[in-house]
Amino acid sequence: MKVLLAAGARPNFMKVAPLLREARHRAGLECKLVNTGQHYDYEMSQSFFDYLNIDPPHYRIESGSGSQAEQTARIMIGFEKICIDYRPDIVMVVGDVNSTLACSITAKKLCIEVAHVEAGLRSFDRTMPEEINRIVTDSISDYLFVTEKSAEQHLIREGAPLKRIIFTGDVMVDNLLYQKELLTKEMCEGFDSHHLKKSLNKYAFLTLHRPSNVDNRQIFTNIMSALNDISKTLPIIFPVHPRTRKMIKRFRIKCSQHIHILPPLNFMESLYLWKDAAVVMTDSGGLQGETTVLGVPCITLRENTERPVTIELGTNNLVGVKAENIIRAFKKAIGGEKIPYRIPPGWDGKASIRIWDALLAEK
Ligand code: UD1
């Protein structure tokens, strides 16, 4: 069986890695990776490959940035040529970025089966490009690999045939546990090039990049005023995404001296810092799941989440973007009260094993 696996943006690389590593051990399976080039800066793409223990991508598309349509179109054009060249039996896409949408549509129109890893998640917010990507991809996928029960229910409600929905758990967790295992003491010394962990006794860790948060002057200013306030109590480590960096400049956003601004970090550097944070504050999807697995308190700076299990069982607290709510949640998180949490079913590091088992059993 020939599988073409597509990845292009930062969170995709972590999701394909465990699938590629597991594929090596499977007889009768050939799996090639396409990097769609959605993220292209060293810190946003290549740096992620350093510790993933996977081969470099077999194919690469130079899609780059641009409007939603421009980026999606460029990926589709490049991916079509690759599909025609490689002739895969299955195209596998992960997550909810523009590459997920572009590659699934392209494959399906070439009558190639599509497998979607992380299917069925819904924020019910159609202003998010990711929500459109999820809905469209799921509607044409032949295999829907789901990470949590809510996703299964959404797919059933949307009319997906039951036999297409396969509960496998979360490949993001496979990767987290794998990379956590790799974190050696010596490696960490190198990671703390800014000496933050050494110098800060207790700190918060922040990521922020959703267009709904950082592309809107009023919302971004409100969030930052809360964070500036919070940083007086607890220093904040803030690796800044390129989109956010641009908007900080454009809106002339002020960051307090207790917010330690860093360039985008690779997965290991980031993990090294957030795993010991007193609290993580984020608008990322993946980090909501990862903090749940390691039991780190997480404050999600969004109005909705496509991962409700992280709230029901995990350490996640969805607070929205109003300054007073962020500050209240922060005080609660560091107030000393331990949040009871459970690791969601199937988040055990074996999701990629279950995905290949299911696909190979079908073929
Ligand atoms: C994309 C995904 C989002 C994911 C995020 C992770 C979509 C619709 N969005 O959002 O779901 O959470 O990646 O990072 O697919 N840029 C650089 N260097 C790069 C990449 C981007 O400077 O390597 C700049 C570009 O100027 C671009 C901006 O950052 O305009 C945003 O990049 P883009 O790929 O459009 O979306 P993300 O916000 O990264």
pLDDT tops 80 at residue 131: yes
Locus of tokens 């896409």: 93
Q: Read off the pLDDT of each residue in 16-43 and give the average, rounded to a whole number.
A: 96
pLDDT value at residue 181: 92
| pLDDT on residue 199 | 81
Give 361 Cα–ligand 1 centroid separation in angstroms.
36
**What tokens were used for 67?**
């409007």
Which amino acid, 356?
W
Residue with tokens 């608008």: 283
Q: What is the mean pLDDT of residues 171-176?
A: 98
- The best mutation among 38, 42, 61, 172 to test binding of ligand 1, ranked by most ligand atoms within 8 Å of the C-beta, falls on 38
Check pocket membership of 214 for ligand 1, CB cut-off 6 A: no
The mean per-residue pLDDT over the stretch 118-129 comes to 97
- Name the active-site residue from 209, 241, 258, 260: 209
Confidence of residue 240 (pLDDT cuts 50, 70, 90): very high
- Ligand 1 closest atom vs CA 285: 12
| Closest C-alpha among 168, 118, 164, 113 to residue 14 | 118
Summarised one tens digit per residue, pLDDT across range 254-294 is 999 999 999 999 898 899 999 999 999 999 999 999 999 99
pLDDT, one tens digit per residue, over 184-203 is 766 766 666 667 877 888 99
**In whole numbers, what is the pLDDT of the chain averaged over residues?**
95
11 lines ligand 1 (CB under 6 A): yes
Output the pLDDT for position 185.
67
Predicted local distance difference test score (pLDDT) of residue 196: 80
Angle between helices 323-333 and 217-233 (to 10 degrees): 30
- Which burial class, exposed, middle or buried, applies to 218 when counting CB atoms under 10 A from its CB (0-12, 13-18, 19+)? exposed
- Based on the residue annotation, tell me whether 25 is a catalytic residue of this protein: no
Residue 198: predicted pLDDT: 76
Average pLDDT of span 166-172 = 98
Task: Give the separation between CA 45 and CA 8, rounded to whole angstroms.
Answer: 8
**pLDDT value, residue 104:** 98
Torsion angle of C-alpha atoms 141, 143, 148, 152, degrees rounded to 10:
70
d(CA 264, CA 42): 10
Q: State whether the Cα torsion 353-354-357-362 is positive or negative.
A: negative
Query: Would you say 339 and 309 are in contact if contact means Cβ atoms under 8 Å apart?
Result: no
Q: Indicate if the pLDDT at residue 296 is higher than 90.
A: yes
Q: Is the pLDDT of residue 145 over 70?
A: yes
- Report the C-alpha gap between 268 and 175 in whole angstroms: 11
Query: Alpha-carbon distance 202 to 230, whole Å?
Result: 13
Give the pLDDT of residue 48: 81
What tens digit of pLDDT does each residue of 57-108 get?
Answer: 999 999 999 999 999 999 999 999 999 999 999 999 999 999 999 999 999 9
Q: Output the CA–CA distances (angstroms, integers) from residue 71 to 8, 109, 161, 209, 305, in the order listed.
A: 11, 19, 31, 18, 25
CA-nearest residue, atom 28 of ligand 1: 243
Q: What pLDDT does residue 256 have?
A: 97
pLDDT in tens, 31-49: 999 999 999 998 888 888 8
Q: Would you mind telling me the total number of residues written for the chain in this entry?
A: 363
Q: Give residue-wise pLDDT tens across range 300-352.
A: 999 999 999 999 999 999 999 999 999 999 999 999 788 889 999 999 999 99
Round to whole Å and give the CA distance between 224 and 262.
Answer: 16
Beta strands 165-167; 259-262: pairing state? unpaired
pLDDT of residue 189: 67
Please, how many CA atoms are within 13 Å of residue 107, restricted to the half-sphere of its CB? 27
- Report whether pLDDT(130) > 70: yes
Query: Which residues on neighbouring strands pair with residue 117, listed in sequence order?
Result: 94, 145
What kind and span of H or E run contains 115? Answer: strand 113-119
So what's the pLDDT on residue 50? Answer: 82
Measured CA to CA, the distance from residue 311 to residue 248 in angstroms comes to 30
pLDDT, position 336: 78
- Evaluate: CB of 130 within 6 angstroms of ligand 1: yes
